[in-house]
Amino acid sequence: MRIAIIATAIALAAGATDALAAEGRFIHPADTSKDDRIDKAEWVAFKLPAAEFAKADKDGDGKINGPEFVAWDTAQKAKHAEH
């Protein structure tokens, strides 16, 4: 009985994770408009380096989406790890 309850809880948790991933939400504190993107004003207001905005905005649409932010952040961490 206890194993069945634990298995059910795990299955429900996995389903909830899949649902969140399926939504494709980009949640970052800089995204004050809650539109799943960071525009330049939000970027600068969050004290991210203004000069880096264009580098992060790979598709040039004026907003940073989740994959763009992750790519930029990963590159920044790698760059700082070299020093």
Q: Report pLDDT digits (tens) over 60-78.
A: 999 999 999 999 999 999 9
Distance from C-alpha of 82 to C-alpha of 60, rounded to nearest angstrom: 28
Is residue 67 within 8 A of residue 38, CB to CB? The reply is no
Domain of 29, CATH number, reads 1.10.238.10
The mean of the pLDDT values for the chain is 79
Confirm whether 7 is domain-assigned.
no
Confirm whether 1 is domain-assigned.
no
Q: What is the rounded (10 degree) CA torsion for 75, 77, 82, 83? A: 130
Confirm whether 11 is domain-assigned.
no
Confirm whether 50 is domain-assigned.
yes
Contacts of 39 by beta carbon, 8 Å cutoff, 6+ apart: 33, 62, 63, 64
The domain containing residue 65 runs over which residues?
A: 25-82
Q: Check pLDDT > 60 for residue 26.
A: yes
Structural domains of the chain, count: 1
pTM of the model: 0.67
Strand duo 63-64 + 38-39: pairing: antiparallel
Confirm whether 56 is domain-assigned.
yes
Tokens 């920044």 identify what position?
76
